[in-house]
């Protein structure tokens, strides 16, 4: 695999890295250009910081600040008749990470947009198909790091639409599955801004499938439950009925739960779920750095820590984890 050196990075460097990865390049970034965004990408295995890199040693050297200019030959021109003078917002679910899992309708919305407001987990390579004159706005939220308040995102969508822009809100997964899409919809509707939705492939289903785990399997389970693990069991803010999950006989899928896995596993066992129940945690699903661990429930938190798995990650608990002979490597 060839390696590209990306320099003059800015907050859109994730778009550049994803585009290069799609073309088969590993990516290095000068260590002196280290930022919260590049640190996040490096932690997810998508780039490497290098001290004083030699540009002549690379197959490709990319100026990130100019990379997106003119890279969308199939995009519509700034004078496209598709532009609506009244402005509107389209909430687009980008799927679990692989740009190939962005729907046809979602990609078409990106191509037509005047403004794309995107998250760190959106399929960033798809932004190479945006119009060359489109405004790309990064509002990604780095766990325990930089973030854009949801109220600011809501206001941005409304403001750009009121300026007559066609605005795409591009998120990973599906906007209405722990994506705060409902809040963005309400903000637009309350402001009188037209808003529509392009559903996305939710990571809750797609990522386990890509790891070889079916959420349902005949004779094992007749359904699955998807819950957020962001708030731990026992916290007054937690509304998840862990007792029902432990005794319900359904596959349990936990999103945003890496930091609370020990508490979650303990709570499920306290309510009767066997410590030997198969469990899996899949990190960076649907990306080139996807990795996972499979372990008994009692050992889940330790296995995830030892494996160095970090968010974003999907946790699956139930006999389906080993239904196909173990999760696919």
Quick count: other Cβ atoms within 10 Å of Cβ 191? 16
Distance CA 304, CA 213 (A): 17
Residues 152 and 201: beta-carbon distance below 8 Å: no
Distance CA 160, CA 79 (A): 17
Q: Known catalytic residue: 256? A: yes
Strands 278-283 and 291-296: antiparallel
Residues contacting residue 261 through CB under 8 Å, at least 6 positions apart: 229, 254, 281, 300, 301, 304, 315
* Catalytic residue, candidates 141, 299, 302, 319: 141
* Catalytic residue, candidates 19, 40, 119, 284: 119
Report the pLDDT value the prediction gives residue 86, as an integer from 0 to 100: 73
Report the pLDDT value the prediction gives residue 43, as an integer from 0 to 100: 87
Report the pLDDT value the prediction gives residue 68, as an integer from 0 to 100: 52
Convert the chain into a string of H (helix), E (strand) and C (coil). Answer: CEEEEEECCCCCHHHHHHHHHHCCEEEEEEHHHCCHHHHHHHHCCCCEEECCCCHHHCCEEEEHHHHCCCCCCCCCCCCCCCCCCCCEEEEEECECCCHHHCCHHHHHHHHHCCEEEECCCCCHHHHHHCCCCCEEEECCCCCCCCCCCHHHHHHHHHHHHHCCCEEEEEECECCCCCCCHHHHHHHHHHCCCCEEEECCCCHHHHHHHHCCCCCCECCCECCEEEEECCCCCCCCCCCCCHHHHHHCCCEEEEECCHHHHHHHHHHHHHCCCCCCCEEEEEECCCCCCCEEEEEEHHHHHHHHHHCCCCCCEEEEECHHHHCCCCCCC
* Catalytic residue, candidates 111, 165, 256, 284: 256
Report the pLDDT value the prediction gives residue 1, as an integer from 0 to 100: 73
Residues contacting residue 247 through CB under 8 Å, at least 6 positions apart: 271, 272, 273
Strands 251-255 and 278-283: unpaired
Q: Known catalytic residue: 119? A: yes
pTM: 0.82
Bond before 312 cis per omega within 30 degrees: yes
Report the pLDDT value the prediction gives residue 36, as an integer from 0 to 100: 86
Q: What is the pLDDT along the chain (329 residues), one digit of tens a residue?
A: 789 999 988 877 888 998 898 888 999 999 999 998 899 899 888 999 999 999 989 989 998 877 654 343 333 333 343 444 579 999 999 999 999 999 999 999 999 999 999 999 999 999 999 999 999 999 987 766 678 999 999 999 999 999 999 999 999 999 999 999 999 999 999 999 999 999 999 999 999 999 999 999 999 999 999 999 999 999 999 999 999 999 999 999 999 999 999 999 999 999 999 999 999 999 999 999 999 999 999 999 999 999 999 999 999 999 999 999 866 55
Report the pLDDT value the prediction gives residue 292, as an integer from 0 to 100: 97
């Amino acid at each position: 695999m060839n390696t590209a050196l990306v320099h003059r990075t800015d907050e859109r460097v994730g778009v550049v890295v994803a585009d290069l990865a799609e073309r088969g390049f590993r990516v290095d970034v000068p260590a002196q250009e280290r930022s919260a965004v590049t640190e996040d990408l490096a932690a997810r295995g998508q780039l490497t910081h290098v001290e004083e890199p030699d540009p002549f040693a690379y197959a490709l050297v990319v100026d990130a600040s100019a990379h997106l200019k003119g890279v969308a030959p199939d995009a519509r021109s700034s004078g496209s008749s598709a532009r609506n003078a009244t402005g509107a917002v389209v909430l687009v679910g980008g799927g679990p990470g692989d740009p190939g899992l962005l729907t046809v309708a979602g990609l078409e919305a990106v191509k037509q947009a005047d403004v794309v407001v995107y998250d760190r987990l959106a399929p960033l390579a798809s932004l190479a198909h945006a119009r060359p004159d489109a405004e790309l706005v990064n509002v990604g939220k780095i766990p325990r790091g930089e973030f854009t308040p949801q109220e600011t995102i809501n206001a941005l969508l409304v403001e750009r639409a009121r300026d007559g822009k066609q605005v795409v809100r591009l998120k990973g997964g599906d906007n209405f599955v722990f994506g705060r899409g409902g809040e963005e919809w309400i903000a637009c509707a309350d402001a009188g801004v037209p808003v529509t939705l392009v559903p996305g492939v939710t990571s809750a289903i797609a990522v386990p499938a890509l790891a070889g785990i079916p959420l349902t399997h005949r004779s094992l389970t007749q359904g699955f439950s998807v819950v957020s693990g962001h708030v731990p069991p026992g916290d007054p803010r937690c509304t998840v009925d862990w007792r029902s999950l432990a005794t319900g006989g359904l596959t349990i899928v936990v999103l945003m739960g890496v930091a609370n896995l020990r508490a979650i596993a303990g709570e499920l066992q306290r309510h009767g779920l066997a410590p030997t129940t198969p469990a899996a945690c899949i990190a960076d699903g649907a990306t080139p750095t996807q990795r996972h661990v499979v372990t008994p429930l009692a050992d889940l938190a330790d296995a995830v820590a030892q494996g160095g798995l970090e968010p974003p990650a999907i946790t699956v608990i139930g006999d389906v984890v080993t239904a196909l002979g173990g999760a696919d490597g």
